[in-house]
Amino acid sequence: MDLPLIRPRRLRATPALRNLVRETRVQPGQLVLPVFVRDGIDEPRPITSLPGVMQHTLDSVRREAVRVAEAGLGGIMLFGVPLDEHKDASGSVGCDPDGILNRALAAVRDEVGDDTVVMADTCLDEFTDHGHCGVLDADGRVDNDATLEVYCRMAVEQANAGAHVVGPSGMMDGQVSAIRAALDDAGHLDTAILAYSAKYASAFFGPFREAVGSSLQGDRRAYQQDPANRREGLLEATLDLDEGADMVMVKPAGYYLDVLADVAAASPVPVAAYQVSGEYAMLEAAAANGWLDRDRVIAESVTSIVRAGADIVLTYWALELAGRL
């Protein structure tokens, strides 16, 4: 028999061999836990479409932040969920030092200090009564430049509250350069910007809308990217890099691995990817029905994101994965 000289199977023969030659390894320090903090509740509330994920109180988010730090995660990303009566057309509660997100940032930073990275979602969709990521003009369209003015105030207040990192996620043109200038002018030279650079108008954001109590009317396709566009993702990331982004992000992650790989190959700064609510919910639902091996698909899904080039992964499984890793 003319047998092959090269036999790749040799290195797959045992668990120890497979571990020895594994090309991609996920570490707890790469993972960031997204967390929701809701105003006006006395105890954490389950999110129906995100099994195992809660809307936290100010007290419970402190405890969650301690868990994040003790698990050695890379950070915690906070989203605020205000009372409906506090929402308005300009999302003003997002800029209010006494708003739920800024109070949560202050509480978490007070609890964990610099033991983990405290990140803030810098966007208006949770705080506007129309649910869009910016302020609207007379024709009901999101006004890019007027929105930037609000983002600047919001980012400064988040830095004042203790955020190490602000995360502009609204996909407004010029948002990184505007926020950088505002932070620097306010003396927050060390506050970093994680730019949501390639964020697509995805149908996989559905459960997130429940998590933040979204009031969205219409859709966001006029400012978030068309899922059909690959090159545009790299363009958006390049623009954010030119504007001074400290980190760039691709969102969603699992269905945009081609975009993620493009951005990772070109970026001189760390690249993040957000494993979004729909990705989480689908796998949880399939596992609950016995169709998939839950532990294996969670690990495989996050490994694939890191394999594609992500240095940082935002995932609702961050704490669970860190425990296994």
Specify the pLDDT at position 3: 75
Average confidence (pLDDT) over 175-195: 98
Average confidence (pLDDT) over 70-88: 97
Torsion of CA 210, 213, 215, 220, to 10 degrees: -50
Specify the pLDDT at position 93: 97
Catalytic residue among 38, 56, 199, 220: 199
Query: Contact at 8 Å (CB) between 247 and 271?
Result: yes
Instruction: Assign 207 a pLDDT band (cuts: 50, 70, 90).
Output: confident
Specify the pLDDT at position 2: 74
What is the domain-level CATH number for residue 38?
3.20.20.70
Specify the pLDDT at position 4: 76
Report yes or no on 14 lying in a domain: no
Instruction: Assign 192 a pLDDT band (cuts: 50, 70, 90).
Output: very high
Specify the pLDDT at position 224: 95
Average confidence (pLDDT) over 35-62: 97
Q: How many domains does the chain have?
A: 1
Specify the pLDDT at position 26: 97
Helix (H) or strand (E) holding 31: strand 31-38
What's the domain range around 133? Answer: 27-248
Specify the pLDDT at position 163: 98
Specify the pLDDT at position 213: 82
Q: What is the mean pLDDT of the chain?
A: 96
Instruction: Assign 98 a pLDDT band (cuts: 50, 70, 90).
Output: very high
What backbone phi and psi angles, to 5 degrees, belong to 157?
-65, -35
Instruction: Assign 50 a pLDDT band (cuts: 50, 70, 90).
Output: very high
Residue environment code for 57-67, b if the CB has 16+ CB neighbours within 10 A, otherwise e: bbebbbebbeb
Average confidence (pLDDT) over 247-261: 98
How does DSSP assign 108-120, residue by residue?
A: HHHHHTTSSEEEE
Specify the pLDDT at position 5: 83
Specify the pLDDT at position 218: 78
Report yes or no on 240 lying in a domain: yes
Strands (E), 200-276: 247-251, 271-274
Specify the pLDDT at position 208: 86
Report yes or no on 15 lying in a domain: no
Average confidence (pLDDT) over 285-305: 98
Q: Which pTM value belongs to this model?
A: 0.96
Helix (H) or strand (E) holding 281: helix 277-288
**Better-scored residue on pLDDT, 236 or 215:** 236
Residue 174 φ/ψ region, left for φ over 0, alpha for ψ in the -120 to 50 degree band, beta for the rest = left
Q: CA–CA separation, 158 vs 153, rounded Å? A: 9
Average confidence (pLDDT) over 87-94: 96
Report yes or no on 7 lying in a domain: no
Report yes or no on 324 lying in a domain: no
* 251 in catalytic set: yes
Please give the structure tokens belonging to residue 167.
Answer: 């995360």
Specify the pLDDT at position 325: 86
Catalytic residue among 38, 103, 130, 251: 251
Specify the pLDDT at position 239: 98
Q: Report how far apart, in Å, the C-alpha atoms of 301 and of each of 76, 168, 283, 290, 297 are.
A: 20, 25, 9, 17, 6
Report yes or no on 42 lying in a domain: yes
Average confidence (pLDDT) over 94-98: 97
* 199 in catalytic set: yes
Which of the 8 DSSP states describes residue 226? P
Around 164, how many Cα atoms within 13 Å sit in the side-chain half-sphere?
16
Report yes or no on 315 lying in a domain: no
